[in-house]
Amino acid sequence: MKRLSIMIVLLTICLSFSISMAETSTSGIGHEFGGYWRTRGYMMRNFTGESNTGDLDMSLIDTRTRLYYTAVINDNLKLVNKFEMNAYWGDNRADASSSGYGDFGTDGKDFQIKHTYADFNIGCMNAKIGAQGRVLARGFLIDDDFAGAVLTCQTGPLSLPFMWAKIDEGFAGKDANEGDFDYYGFLPELKINDNIQLNPYVLFAYKQASETEIYFLGSDLDMNMGPMSLWLTVIWEGYANDSHAYAYLGAVGGNVDLGMAGIHAQTFYASGQCNSDSDKRAFFVPAGQSYYWGEIMGYGTFDELYSNNSPGDRISNIWATNVGATLKPMAKLSVSFDLWYAVLAEDIMVTDLNDRERGSEDELGLEADLKVTYQLMDNLDLDVVLAYLIAGDATYKGRYEEDPYEIGTQLSLSF
């Protein structure tokens, strides 16, 4: 009933704006093309913090191609599409079905539809309906693609988006609708002036079958002060059917531009579950969360693996802090160096290779990342990445303790 009521309200809003809709241009269909391509080669070692198993060791080359096509039907209506193709080079002996088109003969059928949605304006209302992407709370809540609708009313410096996203569909059958799982979000964006922007938001996740009713209250703040920029994110998570359960996340960062060099830093904290507390305390996002940070502990450039017991890009039960610098010794060359230190917000029980408990630990370790980017020509970049993690006791899994490290390169173009 809640979902039906919300959809009726949305349709009513659209119809009300259509009454005063201005005439649209009918000058013919336009076509916009774009895309992105990358090929990466990388080696990852000891990501369990243990040298003897090789469980997470890999050396791979992969390729991704994204093609964008937008049909501009008139000034107020367009159809946006994004397609993607991925492949590992060579046959994948572990899983032949995942080799894509990179096997010998290159005749795979790995083709994905990332986005396809209608984007249209009715009065002051913009609607995006279909499979699309969204970033919310810098990725601490959502940085992903979804099927749904985003309706946005723009009034001067204030933007008022409402988002509905489908997580799970119960489909057909007795009481099947109780299996539906949806996001509903109200995501205002206020440009206070040219240097300050505030984005408060309310996100609600609802699933009737399991009585899952999670809400997120939060805000982003971005400030630019000449060569310095600062950002802040705070999020409170609550459960509508359990007033004793709650979680929270806070993050802050900034950058100072010094011309040929820059200094940047950030820190974030997300609550975890204490073993002695029966109430929910771990920061948990049902779907769509993705926040990349360190190369080894936080997915980084080569997002195949993250080190043992780190949350990766699904930020929860962690405190991490970073300081780094970027140098630009010449127009086409940049060099970035970052240090990351991370511990778990709540201790976890660490096991050895035989799954025997060896004590409670919280330290993930100290990570050093080096990234060199060189522009070979316009729109074509070459990246070289080196990363090393001095692993803490919460990362180590076995008795053959070895620090994780990563070496890789990436060639990418966009158009």
What are the tens digits of pLDDT across the range 277-309?
888 999 999 999 999 999 999 999 999 999 999
The pLDDT confidence band at residue 27, using thresholds 50, 70 and 90, is: low
187, 164 in Cβ contact below 8 A? no
User: Between residues 386 and 95, which one has the greater pLDDT?
Assistant: 386
Please state, as a whole number, how many other Cβ atoms lie within 10 Å of the Cβ of residue 256.
Answer: 16
Question: Is 68's pLDDT higher than 80?
Answer: yes
- Determine what percent of the chain is predicted with pLDDT higher than 90: 70
* Token pair listed for 343: 């511990």
Average pLDDT over residues 137-156: 96
pLDDT digit string, tens, across residues 349-376: 887 666 677 788 999 999 999 999 999 9
Average pLDDT, the chain: 89
| pLDDT reading at 64 higher than 90 | yes
Q: Give dist(CA 162, CA 172) in Å, integer.
A: 28
394 pLDDT above the threshold of 80: yes
The answer, yes or no, to whether residue 380 has pLDDT greater than 80, is yes
Q: What is the pLDDT of residue 17?
A: 41
- pLDDT above 90: residue 415: yes
Q: How does residue 21 score in pLDDT terms, banded at 50, 70 and 90?
A: very low
- Does the pLDDT at position 143 exceed 60? yes
3-state helix, strand, coil in the chain (%, to 5): 5, 60, 35
What is the C-alpha separation between 323 and 157, in angstroms, rounded? 33
d(CA 134, CA 136): 6
Residue 192: which region, alpha, beta or left (left: phi > 0; alpha: psi -120 to 50)? alpha
Task: Compute the distance between CA of residue 43 and CA of residue 58 in angstroms, rounded to an integer.
Answer: 6
Q: Please spell the DSSP secondary structure of 222-259, one letter per residue.
A: EEEETTEEEEEEEEEEEETTEEEEEEEEEEEEEEEE-S
Over 70: is that where the pLDDT of 6 sits?
Answer: no
Say if residues 136 and 187 touch (Cβ distance below 8 Å). Answer: yes
| Strand ranges inside 378-402, DSSP E | 380-391
Most confidently predicted of 3-17, 95-109, 208-222, 255-269? 255-269
pLDDT of res. 190: 97
CA–CA distance, 405 with 391 (Å, rounded to integer): 10
Cβ–Cβ < 8 Å for 132, 144 = no
Report which of residues 318 and 274 the model is more confident about: 318
Q: What angle do CA 14, 20, 23 make, to 5 degrees?
A: 105
DSSP letters along 22-46, please? PPPP-S--EEEEEEEEEEEEEEEE-
Per DSSP, 399 falls in state S
